[in-house]
């Protein structure tokens, strides 16, 4: 915190720069990638208990990341083409990315009737 005299001497206060937590996306909203490995048994942090599904992805930029497979069930295999977005899985340490369903080889496992948040699940608008 700068005092009044310091502000008069130096001028304006400097804004703190915001740090991106999704560095591998290179300030892109989404990136295309290829599944290198699929792990079906990653366990979450302390209060939660389950087997979370994660995949190791090689991005189009050449970087390797670990991303969460959202929802119930998936059809991913090795060398499947996927779309990655930012957004961390809070109960899995070190995972900062999620896969987008309904894009490329990552299709919806079952048709769910949704009216809200359809873009997250890649669902068309129902009449």
Helix (H, G, I), strand (E, B) or coil at 4: helix
Where do runs of H (alpha helix) occur along the chain?
Answer: 4-10, 118-121
Backbone phi and psi for residue 7, each to the nearest 5 degrees, phi listed first: -65, -40
Q: What is the pTM of this model?
A: 0.76
**CA-to-CA distance for 114 and 125, rounded, in angstroms?**
8
**CA-to-CA distance for 34 and 59, rounded, in angstroms?**
6
Assigned CATH for 23-110:
2.40.50.140
Backbone phi and psi for residue 66, each to the nearest 5 degrees, phi listed first: -115, 125
Q: List the pLDDT tens digit at each of the 127 positions of the chain.
A: 778 998 898 888 878 888 888 999 998 999 999 999 999 888 999 999 989 999 999 999 999 999 999 887 788 999 999 999 999 888 999 999 999 988 888 887 666 677 888 777 777 777 7
Burial-class residue 102 by CB neighbours within 10 Å (0-12, 13-18, 19+).
middle
């Amino acid at each position: 915190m700068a005092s009044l005299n310091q502000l008069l001497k130096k001028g304006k206060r400097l804004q703190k720069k915001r740090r991106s937590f999704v560095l591998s996306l290179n300030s892109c909203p989404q990136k295309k990638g290829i599944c290198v490995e699929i792990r079906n048994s990653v366990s979450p942090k302390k209060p939660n208990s389950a087997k979370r599904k994660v995949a190791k992805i090689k991005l189009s930029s050449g970087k390797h990341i670990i991303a969460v497979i959202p929802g119930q069930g998936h059809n991913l295999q090795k060398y499947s083409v996927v779309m990655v977005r930012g957004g961390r899985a809070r109960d899995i340490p070190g995972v900062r990315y999620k896969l987008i369903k309904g894009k490329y080889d990552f299709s919806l496992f079952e048709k769910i009737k949704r009216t809200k948040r359809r873009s997250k699940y890649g669902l068309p608008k129902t009449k």
